[in-house]
């Protein structure tokens, strides 16, 4: 396997200590308030002790939001990962059969550095940081998740994409033995997702390796997944084995499966409905039975950062 040339870590990527402390205060305040208002939920969260090895990371104050994060139990026990079954509790129940070591990732297409790399080579040079991101599912529910990872751009730049690299495609592992959901043709396996290169290089685009300070559990896309907080969840490919740079726009699995319902961009947009439900509001998981819906924000609340990427693009047509 070819070894990667490692770019030096930029000092701007390391969180200054004053931000580190500031963020803790904000979070502590939010948690204190939430503890009073959401006692039953807090007690349930405590019941499920986080698994996985503890990670070394810093907290990135730029990406801390005041919303109370969902519990570890909610984040790891309720999600869509059709490779392990179509119910939202299936991934947690069935992902035990996934082996995340050894793991390798094949990089190809329009890039200077291509080949197959071990997960260790992929991860080694990247200092980890925590970012608290809003997560909005296309099904109109949402969560707040303290991911641990590193900027996707930092990884992609190591492969030296050429000027012809207009898009980047991520492919999830295909192995029905480890991923029992793939034994049925619910989707056209393997799962593929893609981004425009400027979207992928955006500072918000995050390569995730952990949650709540611990290694990512299998059901959340271990060992490596992306998270794009301004897009619907299905854009964020999990358990990635292939990264490919291309000149032409790749197909993405859900858009192939139901082109009238899921597009290539899948930006969170309250004014463009899914054909079968409104996207104007969402239900935040963890609020309990009587929690009110909340308005969905344009680009999931990240409009200030990402709206510029889509200037001149008809978002109604490019949903």
Q: Is 36 in the site for another protein (CB under 8 A)?
A: no
Query: 3: which 2 tokens?
Result: 């070894």
User: Which residue intervals of the chain are DSSP H helices?
Assistant: 17-37, 39-47, 72-77, 90-94, 119-123, 152-158, 197-200, 253-257, 303-306
Q: Which stretch binds another protein (CB under 8 A): 13-21, 59-67, 99-107, 281-289?
A: 281-289
User: How many residues contact another protein, by CB under 8 A?
Assistant: 29
d(CA 215, CA 147): 10
Q: Is 278 in the site for another protein (CB under 8 A)?
A: yes
User: Closest separation between CB of residue 168 and another protein, Å?
Assistant: 26
User: Closest separation between CB of residue 250 and another protein, Å?
Assistant: 21
Which residue among 53, 290, 311, 312 contacts another protein (CB under 8 A)?
290
Q: Which stretch binds another protein (CB under 8 A): 107-115, 168-176, 263-271, 288-296?
A: 288-296
- Letters for 89-108 (x = contact with another protein by CB under 8 A, - = none) are x-------------------
Q: Taking the CA atoms of the chain, what radius of gyration do you get in angstroms?
A: 19
Answer left, alpha or beta for residue 221, where phi above 0 means left and psi between -120 and 50 means alpha. Answer: left
Distance in Å from the first CA to the final CA of the chain: 39
- Strand ranges (DSSP E) for the chain? 58-59, 104-109, 115-118, 129-136, 141-151, 167-172, 192-196, 206-211, 214-215, 225-227, 240-246, 281-284, 294-295
Q: Is 78 in the site for another protein (CB under 8 A)?
A: yes
Q: Which stretch binds another protein (CB under 8 A): 29-37, 212-220, 272-280, 310-318?
A: 272-280
Residue numbers 171-210 binding another protein by CB under 8 A? 184, 186-187
Which residue, 32 or 290, is less far from another protein as judged by CB? 290
For residue 214, the SS3 value is: strand
- Measured CA to CA in angstroms, residue 6 lies from 76, 113, 119, 160, 200 at distances of 32, 11, 14, 11, 19
Q: Which stretch binds another protein (CB under 8 A): 55-63, 83-91, 236-244, 309-317?
A: 83-91
d(CA 199, CA 281): 25
Enumerate the β-bridge partners of residue 168.
Answer: 195, 245
User: Closest separation between CB of residue 59 and another protein, Å?
Assistant: 25
d(CA 169, CA 202): 15
Which residue, 157 or 257, is less far from another protein as judged by CB? 257
User: Closest separation between CB of residue 75 and another protein, Å?
Assistant: 9
Which residue among 32, 40, 260, 312 contacts another protein (CB under 8 A)?
40
Q: Is 271 in the site for another protein (CB under 8 A)?
A: no
Which residue among 13, 55, 88, 113 contacts another protein (CB under 8 A)?
88
Interface residues with another protein (CB under 8 A) are 40, 73-74, 77-78, 82, 86, 88-89, 139, 141, 184, 186-187, 257, 273, 276-278, 280-281, 283, 285-286, 288-290, 292-293
């Amino acid at each position: 396997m070819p070894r990667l040339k490692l770019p030096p870590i930029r000092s701007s990527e390391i969180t200054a200590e004053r931000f580190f402390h500031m963020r803790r205060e904000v979070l502590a305040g939010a948690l204190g308030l939430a503890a009073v208002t959401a006692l039953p939920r807090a007690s349930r969260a405590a019941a499920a002790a986080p698994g996985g090895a503890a990670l070394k990371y810093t907290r990135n104050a730029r990406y801390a939001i005041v919303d109370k994060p969902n519990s570890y139990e909610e984040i790891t026990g309720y999600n869509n990962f059709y490779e392990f079954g179509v119910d939202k509790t299936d991934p947690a129940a069935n992902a035990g059969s996934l082996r995340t070591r050894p793991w390798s990732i094949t990089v190809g297409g329009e890039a200077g550095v291509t080949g197959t790399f071990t997960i260790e080579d992929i991860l080694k040079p990247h200092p980890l940081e925590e970012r608290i991101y809003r997560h909005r599912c296309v099904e109109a529910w949402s969560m707040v998740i303290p991911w641990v990872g590193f900027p996707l751009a930092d990884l992609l730049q190591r492969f030296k994409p050429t000027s012809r690299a207009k898009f980047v495609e991520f492919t999830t592992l295909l192995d029905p033995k480890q991923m029992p959901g793939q034994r049925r043709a619910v989707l056209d396996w393997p799962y593929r997702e893609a981004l425009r290169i400027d979207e992928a290089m955006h500072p918000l685009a995050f390569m995730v390796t952990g949650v709540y300070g611990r290694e990512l559990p299998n059901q959340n896309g271990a060992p490596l997944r992306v998270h794009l907080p301004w897009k619907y969840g299905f854009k964020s490919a999990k358990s990635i084995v292939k990264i490919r740079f291309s000149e032409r726009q790749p197909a993405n699995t859900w858009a192939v499966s139901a082109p009238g319902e899921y597009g290539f961009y899948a930006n969170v947009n309250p004014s463009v409905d899914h054909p079968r439900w409104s996207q104007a509001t969402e239900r935040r998981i963890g609020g309990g039975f009587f929690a009110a819906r909340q308005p969905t924000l344009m680009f999931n609340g990240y409009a200030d950062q990402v709206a510029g990427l889509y200037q001149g693009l008809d978002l109604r047509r490019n949903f």
